[in-house]
Amino acid sequence: MTSLPAASAWDYEFHPEVWLLVAAIIGLGVYSARTIGPLVVPEGEPVTTVNQKRFFIVGVAMLWFAADWPMHDIAEEQLYFVHMLQHLLISFIIPPLLLLAMPAWLARLVILDAGAPQRILRVLTKPIVAGIIFNGLQILTHWGAVVNLSSDNGPFHYTIHLLVFASALLMWFPVVGPLKELQMGEPGKMLYLFLMSIVPTVPAGWLTFAEGVVYEAYETDDALWGISPVEDQQAAGAVMKVIGGFYLWTIIAVRFFRLAANNARAEEQARRDRHNRRLTFDDVEQRFADAGEPPVETR
């Protein structure tokens, strides 16, 4: 494939499929909050919280930014490292934001209902299943044939991004999903996120240390910003390994220190409760009763 001239990356291109997707997400969100929520949420309880609304706005805005012009056009036609930034957003940033925006009552309707689709979703959101699907797609999207085809074929590129985004929603559900009963414990979340950070380092190292250009779709003499194809793929490897890996490891570290702090507070509170508890006459009487009769000495 011969890439377009660098200047064409800044020529505006309308992507109706992206606008339709964003409009559908906004429409479903508004309809759920205004029409379905009041029917299922007990009177006096909020349908959505302020934080959920903020997460929804930021998540949708970032989805639009990642999927529309100019990032989409630069990622598809010019620079593979921008393509990796795009994948980073739709895999690690946007899905948890949208899950944090989802109210528990809506998640129960979508996941815990008795229908066949809900039964399938309950299986797909299990940590092992979700992790395998997510990492399988991560590997597939770095296969040379898939990268070259997605660069040449717009609908295929769009479909791949939808699959990556959907698999990321499944992957993040056991960590930040709105249903606490389907989340793992804190130690399990930290181990799970660490495992999710391992697979992307494989293609990252391959891209960084490969001799020559790996993907012919991004081999061009007229690269944007004067970045050579080899520099481009090295930058892509850095995005995957450094930014993506450290992002997940930062989340793990934050969760570890938060868990340690919570355990320390709980232990301190328990110690204070034991220290402040007064010994009453009933306590002494109960202790004597528990001890039983004193042993009788025999000669």
Q: Output the pLDDT for position 1.
A: 42
Q: Return the minimum-mean-pLDDT range out of 59-73, 153-167, 272-286.
A: 272-286
For the chain, the maximum distance between any two Cα atoms, rounded to a whole number of angstroms, is 109
Q: Output the pLDDT for position 152.
A: 85
- Read off the pLDDT of residues 226-261 as tens digits, 9 standing for 90 and up: 888 999 999 998 898 888 888 999 999 999 999 999
- Read off the pLDDT of residues 107-143 as tens digits, 9 standing for 90 and up: 999 888 878 888 999 999 999 999 999 999 999 998 8
The answer to whether 157 and 148 are in contact (CB under 8 A) is no
Q: Is the predicted pLDDT of residue 289 greater than 90, yes or no?
A: no
81 CB neighbour count, 10 Å cutoff: 23
DSSP state of 33: I
Whole-angstrom Cα distance, residue 248 to residue 197?
7
pLDDT confidence tier of residue 87, bands split at 50, 70 and 90? very high
**Total-model pTM:** 0.85
Q: Output the pLDDT for position 84.
A: 92
Chain-centroid distance, C-alpha 84: 16
Q: Where are the beta strands (DSSP E) in 116-258?
A: none
Query: Closest by alpha carbon to 138, among 74, 203, 80, 82?
Result: 203
Region for 293 from its dihedrals, namely left if φ exceeds 0, alpha if ψ lies in -120 to 50, beta otherwise: beta
Rounded alpha-carbon distances, angstroms, from residue 75 to 29, 35, 152, 286, 292:
29, 38, 12, 75, 80
- Read off the pLDDT of residues 186-219 as tens digits, 9 standing for 90 and up: 999 999 999 999 988 877 877 878 778 889 888 8
The answer to whether 90 and 63 are in contact (CB under 8 A) is yes
Whole-angstrom Cα distance, residue 214 to residue 5?
21
Q: Which positions ≥6 away from 45 have C-beta within 8 Å? A: none
Q: How many residues does the chain have?
A: 299
Region for 292 from its dihedrals, namely left if φ exceeds 0, alpha if ψ lies in -120 to 50, beta otherwise: left
